[in-house]
Structure 1
Amino acid sequence: MLQLNVKNESSRLKAVVLGTAISNGPMPTVEEAYDPKSLEHIIAGTYPVEEDMVKEMEAFNQVFQKYNVQVFRPNVIQDYNQIFSRDIGFVIDDIFIKANILPDRERELDAIQYVINQIDPKKVVRPPEEVHIEGGDVMLWNDYIFIGTYKGSDYKDYITARTNMAGVNYIKELFPHKIVKEFDLVKSKIEPRDNALHLDCCFQPVGTNLGIIYKSGFREESDYMYLVNLFGKENLFHIEREEMYHMNSNVFSIAPDVVVSERNFTRLNNWMRSKGITVEEIPYAEISKQEGLLRCSTLPLIRE
């Protein structure tokens, strides 16, 4: 049995589900694009090819091997995008929460059923249908659970609005002893530079008291200020619009002092090193064209 334990974003990682880019399927049509960044690359003819994405994910896998992390991979579904395992479920404390994702992605959960079968069934929950919540919007920081949402009345018109207030309230009820704080995120269907698809596109804690933040990803300045007051401005690395577009806040921690990052994130990687963090740089720029990066590709199961 897997004894789940995830209480924050950076404690030493022991077990993780890493997505797969094998048999990723044909390039989506313009109509099929789930997010503005994929759409941009479909139109430009620069949408990533499977071979490159498989190589990038293998580089990520090699880093996990180096740190003796137990890695589970989804069963491969033919011609299907299974890279972003963060969307399909997430762990808080010792509970595995299945996400109510876009209906046509339901098969991705089936592909990790063999992992879910290794968890105590009493520790696996599925929210009711009206609850929308995706792992990219759920950020753990010990006593806190940060959740990205979208409070606009046009929520249903946005395929980029992935977590609703029913999702926030569901987590509040499930974890009454935690401080649950939601953040209203900026959304765009057409401009990827102004679309915080998930909370991890504009914020993520690293180390024990540090964080990466994009101020303009929050619809309300008070939400941004909440994090500034909690972490301290000097402990936050502020990314710029273009860095947010390249997903600089979507790195992934293996330990408080080990972060996997994209090799082109020069400014961020230098900052993390200046804070005593070992930065494992890998190529991940092709995968990022689908508006997802390192954190999106992982579903942590056990941290120390």
Structure 2
Amino acid sequence: MLKLNIKNETSRLRAVVLGTAVSNGPTPGIDEAYDPKSLEHIKAGTYPIEADMVKEMEAVAKVLEKYDVKVYRPDQIEDYNQIFARDIAFVIDDLFIKANILPDREKELDAIQYVIDQIDSQKVVRPPEEVHVEGGDVMLWNNHIFIGTYKGSDYKDYITARTNMEGVNYIKQLFPNKIVKEFDLVKSRIEPRDNALHLDCCFQPVGKNKGIIYKSGFREESDYMYLVNLFGKNNLFHITREEMYHMNSNIFSISEDVVISEQKFTRLNKWLRQQGFTVEEVPYAEIAKQEGLLRCSTMPLIRD
């Protein structure tokens, strides 16, 4: 049996689901793009090819194995994108919560059924249909749960709006003893530089008391200030619009002092090293073209 335990983003990682880029399928058509960044690359003819993405994900698997992390990979679905394991489910404490994702991604859950079978069935839950909540929007910080959402009245018109207020309230009911704080995110269907697809596109804690943040990803300054007050301004690394576009806030922590980061994030990686982190650099720029990076392609199951 898998004894799940996730209380924050940075404690020592022991077990994780890492997505796969094998048999990723053909380049989608313009009308099949789920986000503005993929759309941009489809139109430009620069959409990533499978061989490059497989190489990138293998580099991450190697780093995880180096640190003795148990790595689970999804069963292969032919011609299907299974990279972003974070979207389909997430763990809070010892509960495995399945996300109500875009309907045609249901197969991705089936592909990790062999992992779910190792979890106590009473610890696996699925929210009711009207509840939308994706793992990229859910961030744990000990007694806090941060959740990205979109409060605009046009929520249903945005394929980039992935977590609704019903999702926030559902998590509040499941975890009445935690401080659940939602953040209203900036969304765009057409400009990837102005689209925070998930909370981890504009914020993520690192280490014990630090974080990476993109101020303009929040629709309300008060939401941004909440994090500044909680972490302290000097503990937050502020990224630029262009760095947000390249997903600088979407790195992944193996422990409180080890992170996996994209090799081209020079400014961020330098700052992390100055703060005492070991930075394991990997190439991940091709996967980033689909508006997801290291946090998006991992689903932690157990941290110490």
Counterpart secondary structure, 1:20: coil
Q: Matches of 1:34 and 1:208 in 2, distance apart?
A: 34
Match of 1:20?
20
Per-residue deviation, residues 204-259 of structure 1 (Å, max 9, x unmatched):
00000000000000000000000000000000000000000000000000000000
Q: Matches of 1:150 and 1:303 in 2, distance apart?
A: 29
Q: Matches of 2:244 and 2:238 in 1, distance apart?
A: 10
Q: Matches of 2:270 and 2:142 in 1, distance apart?
A: 26
Matches within 5 A, 1:113-262: 113-262=113-262
Deviation at 1:93, TM superposition (A): 0.2
Counterpart secondary structure, 1:296: coil
Deviation at 1:32, TM superposition (A): 0.2
Counterpart secondary structure, 2:270: helix
Deviation at 1:156, TM superposition (A): 0.2
Q: Matches of 2:106 and 2:28 in 1, distance apart?
A: 18
Q: Matches of 2:125 and 2:91 in 1, distance apart?
A: 10
Amino acid in structure 2 at the alignment position of 1:10:
T
Per-residue deviation, residues 178-202 of structure 1 (Å, max 9, x unmatched):
0000000000000000000000000
Q: Matches of 1:101 and 1:51 in 2, distance apart?
A: 27
Q: Matches of 1:175 and 1:96 in 2, distance apart?
A: 13
Q: Matches of 1:177 and 1:112 in 2, distance apart?
A: 30
Q: Matches of 1:76 and 1:191 in 2, distance apart?
A: 32
Q: Matches of 2:180 and 2:264 in 1, distance apart?
A: 34
Q: Matches of 1:224 and 1:70 in 2, distance apart?
A: 35
Amino acid in structure 2 at the alignment position of 1:276:
G
Match of 2:73?
73
Q: Matches of 1:208 and 1:89 in 2, distance apart?
A: 25
Match of 1:85?
85
Q: Which runs of 5+ in 1 are unaligned?
A: none
Amino acid in structure 1 at the alignment position of 2:70:
Q
Point out 4+ residue stretches in structure 1 off by more than 3 angstroms. Answer: none
Amino acid in structure 2 at the alignment position of 1:245:
Y
Counterpart secondary structure, 1:76: coil
Match of 2:58?
58
Deviation at 1:49, TM superposition (A): 0.2
Match of 2:36?
36
Q: Matches of 2:64 and 2:269 in 1, distance apart?
A: 19
Asked whether 1:275 is paired with 2:289, we answer: no
Q: Matches of 1:273 and 1:7 in 2, distance apart?
A: 25
Amino acid in structure 2 at the alignment position of 1:28:
P
Q: Matches of 2:64 and 2:197 in 1, distance apart?
A: 26
Deviation at 1:164, TM superposition (A): 0.1
Q: Matches of 2:276 and 2:109 in 1, distance apart?
A: 37
Q: Matches of 2:26 and 2:9 in 1, distance apart?
A: 33
Q: Matches of 2:258 and 2:12 in 1, distance apart?
A: 9
Q: Matches of 2:122 and 2:104 in 1, distance apart?
A: 26
Q: TM-score by structure 1 length?
A: 1.00
Q: Matches of 1:298 and 1:177 in 2, distance apart?
A: 26
Counterpart secondary structure, 2:254: strand
Q: Matches of 2:242 and 2:106 in 1, distance apart?
A: 32
Q: TM-score by structure 2 length?
A: 1.00
Counterpart secondary structure, 1:242: helix
Q: Matches of 1:104 and 1:122 in 2, distance apart?
A: 26
Amino acid in structure 2 at the alignment position of 1:136:
G
Counterpart secondary structure, 1:28: coil
Deviation at 1:114, TM superposition (A): 0.3
Match of 2:2?
2
Q: Matches of 2:37 and 2:122 in 1, distance apart?
A: 38
Amino acid in structure 2 at the alignment position of 1:41:
H
Match of 1:296?
296
Q: Which runs of 5+ in 2 are unaligned?
A: none
Deviation at 1:170, TM superposition (A): 0.1
Counterpart secondary structure, 2:56: helix
Counterpart secondary structure, 1:131: coil
Q: Matches of 2:242 and 2:294 in 1, distance apart?
A: 17
% identical aligned pairs: 82
